């Protein structure tokens, strides 16, 4: 015998009694569900620590030129004089010193710290841009498919399935060089902005499906709710239905999926850059740094260590925050 | 149901029960000062706060209350179905002389289904959709009869299905829950609950999800089965009509506390608590003046997190002012209210209550 | 048939329903298709200011009917006329002026309010989507409505989760009143509420009906609640009206066996011990495959051969407003059941 119905009844009994007292409070302005979620988030220590880390990372990325100014070293400056005859940095732990906090790259002798800061900037920019674009596509397609249904739903579902069936890596591997050749030719230098745009484009094409499915499911569930019918019975048009009635009720899952998509794009960017289809070496990025550092895994482990730990901390913080956000927005799911 | 052998069920503490020992007579279920507390992020919820009652074999206790009154929480506590991490349970629950509070989970589990069983409101979610109804009943039998063979369990399940009035039980045995109609599903649930001959049956809103004509059938069935199996039944419901049909004794709960207790005649015919008066006058009736307004209880049910001080009913009670500050400061205790076995938790003096009932309540609805 | 179910007409009906039907296509088995005849040919009128109850058990089509009346569902057949205009298949634009006159109250006080909107926005929604600007401003109108339904007008900025079930249902009622409708379809408006709150809301609806002269189509499964609210009652069974008449007819002189059984099955607080005398066997059959002839015959104790072959028409029996669809209608008042007092009940049981 399952316990769920029994526990459910008991909880419903407690909860239905719980809300009743609220209107007896003195103040007049109500606490919106969003505000309640914020209060819950504030109480969650994991959320506060990971959120603080994220804010710190983002400020660092935004203020990269400022950091460069204060630090006094640019991402492209080379310090060959601090390398030995084999191109390895002098000193301990890959050349860590008061001047070069995280040491130097073997070979080119660039400063790892400032390249990490700029790499963070690149990664976050790509990840956020891709997440915003995929979320937008997903929300628009998902809402339309879910609310209007019929042939539109069938078509959008079909496109979703088609996209999911395409092998992401293979297409990314095939597409990126082709695009680059198409625009730049064999020997021209590829502009960093172009590389970034291609990456975002690839992510956008492949990344929207999960959001679209999520939103579609949510909208279908909401469509049958009585408050939506009440609006329909009052003669509300499509715009009112979508923007006033439906979207305010699904931004919570959208936000959660957004916050979990960002770290996914960060790792994807690193992975693509690592296998060489992403960014060129000129653009500082986590993936490129880890790719280059692998040659020195034995001789200069510090070179792997710093970018590795940075990407780990960033993705970990994002995931923790995303989970905490989900708990705060939908407290029942976590019980 | 043995209404003629009206045994007062109010007295508790008369039998000094020793855990593990079954007294020869006395009530089968004895709940003494039961307290169930949940710690939630919004505060402590005292879902049940000092409730006592007894149920004897062959009798039916109706527990009545609105949402948040603690009636379902009480029944789950008896069955030991609360999540120990979330709920704190205090007080005593004696089932057949065994104290259940504090008993290891494993032992309570062994009692559950054999000595006590439960019927849920929604049979569809309580039956597993992927197994046949018969298999689930047979399974429930074999859990507590490990030596019973497959064939014996099947025979037992078919018998039970027939007993609860399901036509062609042998054929129905192999059907899935979705092939049963709502009323048939509830009958199957009852068959499953009774398959081990439990001495205590807890029915939590067993007919709320059913149509009235089917509800009538199920209530009849429960009464028939009780005459046959002689078990103690707790019927939890918000519907006073249901209670009036099948219960021998009634416990009225409000805000996690018992406010009135007595035989069905005492509570429904000569109610003593203003909340019971309010409940009775709220019920729309098929007799009397249809054009007259109903007489509701004012206000809203209380929040269990933030119960009103003193008598938790005082903000909604018409007569709360008659006791000065007492109803706001002092929690009324359950005290004898005239007739034997009739208890009420109200600050109003007994004579005044009787007078109020005669002059203001009796004619508006209760004794239509 | 056009006079069926109408009392001698003094006033032009506000709502006139003829032959209304809704069939839902369903998949059966692997490749079969069939239809559920959820509503199968209803005729009834609602006059201005009149309260009509639609009563029946689950699967009788009462909720589907309500949804069709406010045009949330498209009827399969039949016509709905509102103030003489055929609105059966009117589009959104044609319906717009009508929306103001025709509103709905829902059953579930939790699902019927948008959790992300303040109470003020919820109640103002019908005004907003119809571009109505009330004199004195939207906020003043909303606060007036809150007061009408017995809520604190200061709670304008609160959210639904801060209210109890009964208060939420009042908010739903205020929303339905916002456009000053002439007819409100109330779909089980009190069945999700606690008993004490249920009485509050029934009283509120009665008071609004009296004060504002509203007409109601009140959908419910609870005959006792309907008795306290409706002047006329239609009893439905498996998508058809089996009996319709004034309140006194239905409750005191029901002619259809099903109406009698339904009345008898309601547990009565004032009578202790096992209830009414009529016990129906079995459940309501599935509307996917309703019985031939009279749909009630499978559970009816009076069923004969003719009931299986010929469907009884809904016809007035004694020239009055009461019409019954039965080959063998009952007559006379419901016999008073025994056990009026506890004393006799006890005797009866102990025998």
Task: State the smallest CA–CA distance between residue C58 and chain A in angstroms.
Answer: 19
Count Cβ atoms below 10 Å from residue A206 Cβ, excluding itself: 19
**Mean of all residue pLDDT scores within chain A:** 79
pLDDT at A70 over 70: yes
Q: What angle (nearest 5°) sits at the alpha carbon of residue C189, between those of residues C201 and A236?
A: 115
Average pLDDT over residues C28-48: 84
For the cut 60, the answer to whether the pLDDT of residue C84 exceeds it is: yes
pLDDT at C121: 92
Does the CB of C167 have a partner CB in chain A at under 8 Å?
yes
Q: Which helix (H) or strand (E) holds B44?
A: strand B43-55
With CA atoms as reference, the chain C residue closest to B64 would be: C195
Query: In terms of pLDDT, which residue wins out, A179 or B3?
Result: A179
Q: What is the pLDDT of residue A19?
A: 40
ipTM of the complex: 0.83
Q: Which residues in B lie closer than 8 A to residue A20 (C-beta atoms)?
A: 68, 300-303
Confidence of residue C1 (pLDDT cuts 50, 70, 90): very low
pLDDT band at C57 (very low <50, low <70, confident <90, very high): confident
Answer whether B66 sits within 8 Å of C194, measured CB to CB.
Answer: yes
pLDDT at C341: 36
**pLDDT over threshold 90, residue C330:** no
Interchain pair A233, C172: CB under 8 A: no
**In the predicted model, what is the mean pLDDT of residues C253-270?**
88
User: If you measure CA to CA, which chain A residue comes closest to B204?
Assistant: A6
Assign C347 a pLDDT band (cuts: 50, 70, 90).
very low
Mean pLDDT by 10 residues, chain B (368 residues): 41 41 68 90 85 92 89 90 84 90 87 88 82 90 88 92 88 88 87 90 88 86 87 92 91 93 91 91 84 86 84 90 84 86 90 83 55
The pLDDT score that the predictor gives to residue A14 is 44
What confidence score (pLDDT) does residue A138 get? 92
Which DSSP string corresponds to A129-161?
Answer: HHHHHHHHHHHHHHHHHHHH-HHHHHHHHHHHH
- Given CB atoms, is A155 within the 8 Å cutoff of chain B? no
Mean pLDDT value of segment C90-108: 85
Share of chain C above pLDDT 70, in %: 90
State the Cα torsion A110-A114-A119-A125 to the nearest 10°. Answer: -150
Q: Are C201 and C169 in contact (CB under 8 A)?
A: yes
Separation of CA C273 from chain center: 30
Q: Nearest residue of B to residue A19 by CA position?
A: B303
Cα(C60)–Cα(C43) distance, rounded to whole angstroms? 15
pLDDT for C351 equals: 28
CA C189 remoteness from chain centre: 9
CA-wise closest residue to C146 among C174, C177, C110, C181: C174
Interface residue of B294, B315, B364 to substitute, partner C, most C CBs within 10 Å:
B294
Q: Per the CB < 8 Å rule, is A225 touching C111?
A: yes
At A298-312, the pLDDT tens digits run 777 777 888 888 888
At residue A107 the predicted structure's pLDDT band, cuts being 50, 70 and 90, is confident
Lowest mean pLDDT, pick from A83-92, A148-157, C132-141: A83-92
Q: Which residue has the tokens 């503490």?
A: B13
Locate the chain C residue with the closest alpha carbon to A224: C111
Contact A227 C114 (CB under 8 A): yes
pLDDT at position C175: 94
Q: Following CA atoms C142, C143, C148, C150 in sequence, which dihedral angle do they give, to the nearest 10 degrees?
A: 120
Residues of chain C with Cβ-Cβ distance to B264 below 8 Å are: 272
pLDDT on residue A16: 40
Residue B50's contacts (CB-CB under 8 Å, 6 or more residues apart) are: B33, B34, B35, B91, B257, B258
What pLDDT, on the 0 to 100 scale, is given for residue C213? 92
Q: Do A10 and B47 touch (CB under 8 A)?
A: yes
Distance from CA of B108 to the nearest CA of C (A): 33
Counting beta carbons within 10 angstroms of the beta carbon of residue A108, is it exposed (0 to 12), middle (13 to 18) or buried (19 or more)? Answer: middle
| Residues C161-181, mean pLDDT to the nearest whole number | 92
What pLDDT was estimated at residue C29? Answer: 65
Range of weakest confidence among A225-229, B345-349, C92-96, C310-314: C92-96
Whether A39 has its CB under 8 Å from any CB of chain C: the answer is no
Question: Given B284, B301, B367, which is nearest C194 (Cβ)?
Answer: B301
SS (H, E, C) chain C: CCCCCCCCCCCCCCEEEEEEEEEEEEEECCCEEEEEEEEEEEEEEECCCCEEEEECCCCCCHHHHHHHHCCCCCCCEEEEEECCEECCCCCHHHHHHHHCCEEEECCCCCCCCCCCCCHHHHHHHHHHHCCCCCCCCHHHHHHHHHHHCCCCHHHHHCCHHHCCHHHHHHHHHHHHHCCCCCEEEEECCCCCCCHHHHHHHHHHHHHHHHHHCCEEEEEECCHHHHHCCCCEEEEEECCEEEEEEEHHHHHHCCCCHHHHHHHHHCCCCCCCCCCCCCCCCCCCCCCCCCCCCCCCHHHCCCCCHHHHHCCCCCEECCCCCCEECCCCCCCCCCCCCCCCCHHHHHHHHHC
pLDDT at residue C333 tops 80: no
pLDDT for res C125: 93
How far apart CA C268 and CA C192 sit, in angstroms, is 20
CA separation for the pair B289, A209 (Å, rounded): 62
Task: Name the closest residue on chain B to residue C336, using Cα atoms.
Answer: B287
Contact C116 A249 (CB under 8 A): yes
Residue from B96, B60, B112 nearest B229 by CA: B60
Give how far B19 is from chain C: nearest CA, Å: 36
The answer to whether B68 contacts A20, with C-beta atoms less than 8 Å apart, is: yes
pLDDT reported for residue C3:
43
Beta pairing partners, B258: B253
pLDDT tens column, A311-334: 888 889 888 888 888 888 876 544
Interhelix angle B133-144/B182-194, nearest 10 degrees: 10
Query: How far apart, in whole angstroms, are the C-alpha atoms of residue C33 and residue A91?
Result: 80
At B236, is the secondary structure helix, strand, or coil?
strand
Q: Which two tokens stand for residue A294?
A: 């692998």
> Residue A216 has what pLDDT?
93
Give the residue from chain A lying closest to B112, CA to CA.
A1
Residue listed under structure tokens 């749909």: C295
φ and ψ of B34, to 5 deg? -70, 135
What average pLDDT does the segment A150-163 reach? 91
Report the C-alpha gap between B27 and C65 in whole angstroms. 51
Of B353, B286, B311, the C-alpha closest to B361 is B353
In angstroms, the CA B327 to CA B331 distance is 7
Calculate how close chain B gets to A261, using CA atoms only, in Å.
29
Asked if residue C41 lies in contact with residue C78, where contact means CB atoms within 8 angstroms, the answer is yes
Question: For a pLDDT cut of 90, what percent of chain C falls above it?
Answer: 46
How many A-B residue pairs are in contact by the CB < 8 A criterion? Answer: 82
Instruction: Give contacts of C195 with chain B, Cβ < 8 Å.
Output: 66, 238-240, 279, 282-283
């Amino acid at each position: 015998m399952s316990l769920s119905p029994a526990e459910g009844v008991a909880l419903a009994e407690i909860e239905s009694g719980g809300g009743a007292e609220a209107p007896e409070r003195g103040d007049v302005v109500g606490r919106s569900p969003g505000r309640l979620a914020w209060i819950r988030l504030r109480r969650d220590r994991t959320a506060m620590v990971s959120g603080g880390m994220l804010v710190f990372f983002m400020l660092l990325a935004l203020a990269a030129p400022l950091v460069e100014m204060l630090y006094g070293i640019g991402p492209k400056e080379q310090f060959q004089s601090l390398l030995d005859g084999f191109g390895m940095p002098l000193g301990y732990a890959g050349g860590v010193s008061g001047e070069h906090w995280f040491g130097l790259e073997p070979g080119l002798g660039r400063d790892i710290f400032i390249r990490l800061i700029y790499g963070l900037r690149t990664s976050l920019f790509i990840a956020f841009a891709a997440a915003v674009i995929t979320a937008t596509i997903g929300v628009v397609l998902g809402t339309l498919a879910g609310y209007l249904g019929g042939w539109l739903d069938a078509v959008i579902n079909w496109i979703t399935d088609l996209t999911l069936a395409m092998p992401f890596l293979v297409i990314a591997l095939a597409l990126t060089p082709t695009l680059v050749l198409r625009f730049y030719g064999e020997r021209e230098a590829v502009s960093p902005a172009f590389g970034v745009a291609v990456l975002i484009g690839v992510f956008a094409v492949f990344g929207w499906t999960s959001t679209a499915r999520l939103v579609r499911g949510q909208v279908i569930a909401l469509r049958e709710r009585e408050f939506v019918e009440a609006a329909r019975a009052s003669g509300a048009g499509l715009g009112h239905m979508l923007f006033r009635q439906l979207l305010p009720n699904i931004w919570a899952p959208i936000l959660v999926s957004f916050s979990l998509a960002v770290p996914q794009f960060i790792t994807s960017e690193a992975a693509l850059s690592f296998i060489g289809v992403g960014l060129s070496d000129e653009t500082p990025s986590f993936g490129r740094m880890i790719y280059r550092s692998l040659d020195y895994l034995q001789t200069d482990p510090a070179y792997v260590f710093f970018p590795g730990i940075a990407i780990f901390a960033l993705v970990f913080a994002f995931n923790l925050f995303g989970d905490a956000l989900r708990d705060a927005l939908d407290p029942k799911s976590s019980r | 149901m043995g209404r003629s052998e009206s045994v007062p069920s109010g007295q508790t503490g008369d039998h000094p029960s020793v855990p593990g020992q079954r007294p020869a007579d006395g009530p089968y279920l004895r709940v003494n000062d039961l307290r169930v507390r949940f710690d939630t992020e919004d505060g402590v919820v005292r879902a049940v706060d000092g409730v006592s009652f007894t149920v004897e074999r062959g009798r039916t206790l109706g527990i009545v209350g609105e949402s948040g009154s603690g009636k379902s929480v009480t029944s789950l506590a008896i069955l030991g179905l609360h999540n120990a991490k979330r709920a704190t349970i205090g007080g005593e629950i004696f089932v057949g002389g065994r104290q259940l509070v504090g008993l290891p989970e494993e032992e309570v589990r062994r009692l559950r289904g054999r000595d006590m069983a439960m019927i849920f409101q929604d049979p569809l979610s309580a039956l597993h959709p992927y197994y046949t109804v018969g298999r689930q009943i047979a399974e429930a039998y074999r859990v507590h009869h490990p030596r019973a063979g497959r064939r014996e369990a099947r025979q037992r399940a078919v018998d039970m299905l027939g007993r609860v009035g399901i036509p062609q039980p042998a054929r129905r045995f192999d059907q899935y829950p979705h092939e049963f109609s709502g009323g048939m599903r509830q009958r199957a649930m009852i068959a499953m609950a009774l398959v081990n001959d439990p001495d205590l049956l807890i029915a939590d809103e067993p007919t709320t999800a059913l149509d009235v004509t089917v509800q009538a059938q199920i209530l009849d069935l429960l009464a028939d089965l009780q005459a046959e199996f002689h078990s103690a039944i707790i019927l939890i419901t918000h519907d006073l009509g249901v209670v009036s049909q099948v219960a021998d004794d009634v416990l009225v709960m409000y805000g996690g506390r018992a406010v009135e207790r007595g035989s069905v005649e005492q509570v429904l015919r000569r109610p003593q608590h203003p909340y019971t008066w309010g409940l009775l006058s709220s019920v729309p009736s098929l007799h009397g003046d249809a054009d007259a307004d109903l007489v509701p209880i004012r206000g809203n049910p209380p929040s269990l997190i933030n119960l009103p001080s003193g008598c938790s009913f005082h903000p909604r009670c018409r007569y709360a002012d008659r006791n000065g500050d007492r109803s706001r400061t002092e929690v009324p205790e359950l005290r004898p209210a005239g007739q034997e076995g009739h208890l009420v938790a109200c600050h109003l003096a007994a004579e005044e209550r009787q007078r109020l009932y005669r002059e203001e309540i009796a004619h508006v609805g209760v004794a239509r | 048939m056009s006079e069926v179910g109408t009392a001698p007409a003094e006033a032009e009906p506000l709502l006139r329903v003829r032959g209304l039907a809704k069939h839902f296509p369903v998949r059966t088995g692997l490749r079969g298709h069939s239809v559920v005849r959820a509503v199968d040919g209803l005729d009834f009128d609602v006059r201005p200011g009149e309260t009509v109850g639609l009563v029946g058990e689950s699967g009788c089509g009462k909720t589907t009917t309500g949804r069709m009346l406010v045009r949330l569902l498209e009827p399969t057949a039949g016509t709905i006329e509102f103030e003489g205009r055929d609105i059966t298949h009117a589009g959104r634009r044609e319906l717009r002026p009508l929306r103001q006159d025709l509103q709905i109250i829902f059953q579930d006080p939790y699902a019927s309010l948008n959790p992300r909107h303040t109470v003020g926005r919820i109640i103002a929604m019908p005004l907003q989507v119809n571009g109505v600007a009330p004199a004195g401003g939207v906020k003043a109108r909303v606060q007036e409505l809150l007061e009408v339904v017995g809520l604190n007008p200061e709670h304008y900025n609160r959210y639904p989760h801060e209210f109890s079930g009964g208060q939420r249902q009042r908010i739903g009622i205020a929303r339905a009143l916002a456009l000053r409708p002439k007819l409100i379809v109330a779909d089980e408006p009190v069945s999700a509420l606690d008993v004490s709150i249920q009485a509050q809301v029934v009283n509120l609806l009665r008071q609004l009906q009296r004060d504002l002269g509203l007409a109601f189509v009140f959908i419910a499964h609870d005959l006792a609640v309907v008795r306290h609210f409706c002047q006329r009652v239609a009893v439905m069974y498996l998508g058809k009206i089996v009996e319709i008449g004034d309140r006194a007819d239905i409750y005191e002189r029901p002619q259809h066996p099903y109406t009698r059984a339904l009345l008898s099955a309601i547990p009565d607080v004032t009578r202790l011990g096992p209830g009414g005398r009529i016990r129906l066997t079995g459940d309501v059959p599935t509307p996917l495959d309703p019985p031939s002839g009279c749909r009630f015959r499978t559970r009816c104790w009076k069923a004969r051969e003719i009931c299986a072959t010929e469907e009884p028409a809904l016809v007035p029996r004694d020239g009055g407003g009461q019409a019954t669809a039965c080959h063998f209608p009952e007559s006379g008042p419901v016999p008073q059941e025994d056990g009026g007092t506890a004393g006799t009940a006890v005797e009866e049981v102990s025998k």
